[in-house]
A and B are shown apart, each in its own frame.
Chain A
């Protein structure tokens, strides 16, 4: 794994991101002032006043926007509830916050300017336009808007992309708000700005972008409930020559065209040895055997890499590995004697069903539809276990809706449960509309206690909006409300979700596949898709999504494209131009092996097997249908196999810990395998010379032969007793404990 630096940046949903947002307080008073939304007539509360609270940070999560307000005064977070804010300002405590007699003495203004003690300090100065706007509004009687005030319908940035040449001067962004009456307005002074990477481009509180170190990033402007980004590219100094490189397929074309624009040269192609090991681990979760190694290395066919990919895609272990990945994000785990339909039998049936689909290579869209729209017995139609495993207990339509959105589109809608999503376009209306697809799902126990019927109660009420409790009928995320009166709404949802035109679905599915081959998604993390977390290469994710949909959602075909691309086959060793790149796929990265793959690899190298309690002998860790949630295997737990408690991809832990190092160094896993292994004893029995034994062990663990310096250091260790099993076990131990073994590279 690698740090996902760039896009972890805008994760702050609940607090004032003090240093990244530039505040008005530091800004000199603008010369021309704020343009009122309606130049004639009084100022509007929603269009002129609310944006000041937003810009000055008054309604942010760390201040009065907190759920309970701050110091006795509450504003809705980022202004999602203007009517409530108006009430609290003017009527909640009459005469306290607004002083009609002496407007300048209003507590609102005294606090905001720090004239009286204010926990939040001075937000702006009395000579600022923000102050003048508030003062004028109070002088005009602090009126609420007429019913027909235009709504903000969106914002645009101009320009929406900037390419800086070396040493170029800062450039100004314009933020243009569009209103429902067709009007537009420049709101540079009212928007908030943030950069995803300060090193590459900084943005100040007026929207001025200053280029920094070479690279690509995004800057964002936020205004009202809208966030829009502009891509900023900063080119490096010095001459740049793009080398002539072969392009294997469309993936290389879009990646290379991006790299060319960024003046990054990709790394060299990985060797055959590296490719063999990498693609075997990625597709089947196993290391190549010495036999496979020999055959591949001897093969002279220029198409041998593509042929290897084809062979691996047809292996049964491919189905095991990828079923497990699905089982993890679908939370397949059981609870014995469960009264919620999560019996072992259900978990096993669900796992087997997914296994079958992958073995048959059922198109992804079909597989997803069967789960989302399914009804009936969870043992005879196991796909419906989506509605037993995701809730993992009592059924909660909101939690199920959130999980389904995250698993199949990567969108985390939950922020919009309590307030409009601060960094995305989702509103509470979107949220409750999506939840309404699942409010009718019911579970009924069958005659057999472990069997549950899943069905939809067409008379169930839709979800209610948090703010005023109005029912919100089922509506697609960012789409229409289907006519599902008197019907189960889920088939319509399944159709919409998996339609070839649904970018959300096709690109998230493609990105999740991509992630398995690079250790990072094009949108990263793959299950946090939002406007403020844009893809590092938009053309790439679009191309992959279109191909996946164009292939009729044949996931294997997309995997084949990826594995055959030069991009996938690049070396991990960077050059001068791509050393700092970790988002543009200009080189491969060291990727730690997952816990199950690591344990299976140890067994494979040592020629041993592990036992997982209730499974038959010879089962591999990647075949455990409930993962580690039941097997209680110390190795798998310690190395971070996910417990299937949530749909988050990040639940699979990849970070090293002291307990892991201790376990590999002196724990029973490695030592037991070494004791049981007959790999070395067979070779000693066959009287193989020490150099040949060393070669064999290296090929097993690393898919390569030892280098000369390695031989020079290792052979003296065996020289004294070259026929001693213990000596060789110590070399074997070192191989299994090495970083090269534990990583895919």
Chain B
């Protein structure tokens, strides 16, 4: 058998979200005989206990929206946010560095545009994870928990969706193009799940699929269709006695009708009217220079349009060109995928700031773990969870800060370690959600939104 380095790990598997939930949780609480007063009687340690099926409409925090950028595979912190130019070559790696707008701070050479807006973001160089396994670490990145065979935890998107509900008739949680299974609703009702676009906005003429009526369907015909459907639903409702199923179906149809008939929504789910200057700002890169367009620029442009229009949390999945699980030839792999990200991310932060949206939009850049301190024999790096970097910006996060540090070989946290739980708790805090609150899972079991998660004061401005 050929010894191919690619196969030393099974690689990230990202099936679509909402696995494992049989649909319709409505009536679940009732079925267990828990009335709301009962629930409130259950005393939580620090926070409060809330049911898992109903929307809550909570007051918002300083961050009104979140753009969650995921670089799946385990981005090397050395080849991005935390280079070690002084380390011996086998630790330092093949790439050079670039000075940032924060004096004395450098990023890896492919982040030259982001370096210029470093004064607007916070880089956490002391994230400490648990397990260098793609599936488990991804699950933890989205939920704050390690996977358990016994229960599925909700992702941050589902929790935001449950806490705040839709804004201006737009779905609260959107995946561009989708969210991994870790981004599902866990023990929460499936109605809090992500609206997944299914495809990336690659063309400028992009329009989210299925949101516009087919060309030959006039308003008159659409009305006729809806009228006919209502007649059929009325009949079924009368003969069948399972309102929960019908109500959930109906809820999604009403949402779909609203989206289809809302010009604002249609506009938000497209790149319509974005001037060329915006393309310049977010960048337009092609695979190998002439191949297909690398989607990240338009993904982030669309994400900005969505939060501007009212979406609360947009998950953007960006695989680079070679993925970020760079066991081999890290120089080339990072070199192929990173410049497009650098351009798009710097563009997004600049754009949000210019529009006055940065203070109310929290942008996160996360990868499930980092990579090993030493370059391996195939010129790549392997999985490493003991220390790595993640980025926060906007939404009340401090501007222009490097928080914490790794040691000289980027192998261990050196100063101010931040756990994955505390990182998530900080994001929740900015959203106005107390991560110590408990949600009621099936079985009447209250579970912390993030267990042992505390907001990190040093990250907040």
Question: Residues of A with Cβ closer than 8 Å to B?
Answer: 1-6, 8-15, 17-20, 62, 197-200, 212-213, 339-340, 392-394, 412, 414-415, 445, 572-574, 579, 589-590, 592, 634, 637-638, 640, 643, 645, 648, 650-651, 653-663, 665-668, 671, 707, 709-710, 713-714, 717, 726-727, 730-731, 733-735, 737-740, 742-743, 745
Contacts of B445 in A (CB 8 A): 12, 15, 17-20
Once the chains are docked, how many angstroms separate the CA of A574 from the CA of B243? 12
29 contacting pairs across A/B (C-beta < 8 A): A3-B244, A14-B148, A15-B445, A17-B445, A198-B32, A212-B33, A339-B7, A573-B239, A592-B23, A634-B198, A640-B18, A648-B20, A654-B22, A657-B196, A658-B171, A658-B259, A662-B210, A662-B260, A663-B209, A666-B213, A668-B214, A709-B231, A714-B228, A717-B228, A734-B225, A734-B226, A738-B236, A742-B249, A743-B245
| Segment at the A interface, from B9-17, B285-293, B343-351 | B9-17
- Is B329 an interface residue, CB under 8 A from the partner? no
Name the 9 nearest CB pairs between A and B, nearest first: A655-B23, A199-B33, A13-B150, A734-B228, A5-B31, A713-B231, A655-B190, A661-B252, A662-B210
Once the chains are docked, how many angstroms separate the CA of A643 from the CA of B150? 21
Q: Which residue of B lies closest to A17 (CB)?
A: B445
Contacts of B246 in A (CB 8 A): 739
Contacts of B252 in A (CB 8 A): 656-658, 660-661
Please give the distance in Å from B311's CB to the nearest CB on chain A.
12
Once the chains are docked, how many angstroms separate the CA of A707 from the CA of B242? 20
Q: Which residue of A lies closest to B28 (CB)?
A: A3
Please give the distance in Å from A459's CB to the nearest CB on chain B.
21
Say whether A197 contacts B242, CB under 8 Å: no
Q: Which residues, 257 to 300 on B, are CB-close (under 8 Å) to A?
A: 257, 259-260
Contact A710-B231, Cβ < 8 Å, known A14-B148, A19-B42: yes
Say whether A739 contacts B34, CB under 8 Å: no
Please give the distance in Å from A196's CB to the nearest CB on chain B.
9
In the complex, per-residue mask of B105-123: 1 if CB is within 8 Å of any chain A CB, else 0:
0000000000000000000
Say whether B209 contacts A667, CB under 8 Å: yes
CB < 8 Å neighbour of B22 from A3, A20, A212, A713: A3
Say whether A730 contacts B221, CB under 8 Å: yes
Question: Residues of B with Cβ closer than 8 Å to A?
Answer: 1-2, 4, 7, 10, 13, 15-16, 18-28, 31-34, 42, 148-151, 171, 181, 190, 193, 195-196, 198, 209-214, 217, 221, 224-229, 231-236, 239-242, 244-246, 248-249, 252-253, 255-257, 259-260, 441-447, 451
Q: Which residue of A lies closest to B22 (CB)?
A: A1
Question: Taking each of A8, A713, A739, A743, which has the highest tally of chain B beta carbons within 10 Å of its own beta carbon?
Answer: A739
CB < 8 Å neighbour of B7 from A13, A393, A653: A393
Contacts of A412 in B (CB 8 A): 149
Say whether B225 contacts A3, CB under 8 Å: no
Q: Which residue of B lies closest to A574 (CB)?
A: B241
Q: Which residue of B lies closest to A713 (CB)?
A: B231
Say whether B211 contacts A666, CB under 8 Å: yes
Say whether B228 contacts A657, CB under 8 Å: no
Contacts of B10 in A (CB 8 A): 392-394
Say whether A1 contacts B24, CB under 8 Å: yes
Question: Taking each of B190, B221, B245, B255, which has the highest tally of chain A beta carbons within 10 Å of its own beta carbon?
Answer: B245
Contacts of B236 in A (CB 8 A): 738-740
Please give the distance in Å from A117's CB to the nearest CB on chain B.
13
Please give the distance in Å from B322's CB to the nearest CB on chain A.
17
Say whether A738 contacts B22, CB under 8 Å: no
Please give the distance in Å from B90's CB to the nearest CB on chain A.
27
Say whether A735 contacts B444, CB under 8 Å: no
Q: Which residue of A lies closest to B49 (CB)?
A: A19
Please give the distance in Å from A352's CB to the nearest CB on chain B.
25
Contacts of A2 in B (CB 8 A): 22, 24, 242, 245
Contacts of B260 in A (CB 8 A): 662, 665-666
Please give the distance in Å from B228's CB to the nearest CB on chain A.
4
Say whether A671 contacts B214, CB under 8 Å: yes
Contacts of B181 in A (CB 8 A): 645
Say whether B195 contacts A659, CB under 8 Å: yes
Please give the distance in Å from A467's CB to the nearest CB on chain B.
20
Once the chains are docked, how many angstroms separate the CA of A709 from the CA of B214? 30
Contacts of B190 in A (CB 8 A): 655-657
Say whether A738 contacts B19, CB under 8 Å: no
Say whether A665 contacts B444, CB under 8 Å: no
Say whether A650 contacts B21, CB under 8 Å: yes
Once the chains are docked, how many angstroms separate the CA of A645 from the CA of B23? 20
Q: Which residue of B lies closest to A655 (CB)?
A: B23
Once the chains are docked, how many angstroms separate the CA of A365 from the CA of B451? 45
Contacts of B241 in A (CB 8 A): 572-574, 579
Please give the distance in Å from A336's CB to the nearest CB on chain B.
13
Say whether B232 contacts A661, CB under 8 Å: no
Say whether B151 contacts A339, CB under 8 Å: no
Say whether A572 contacts B233, CB under 8 Å: no
CB < 8 Å neighbour of B227 from A393, A645, A717, A740: A717
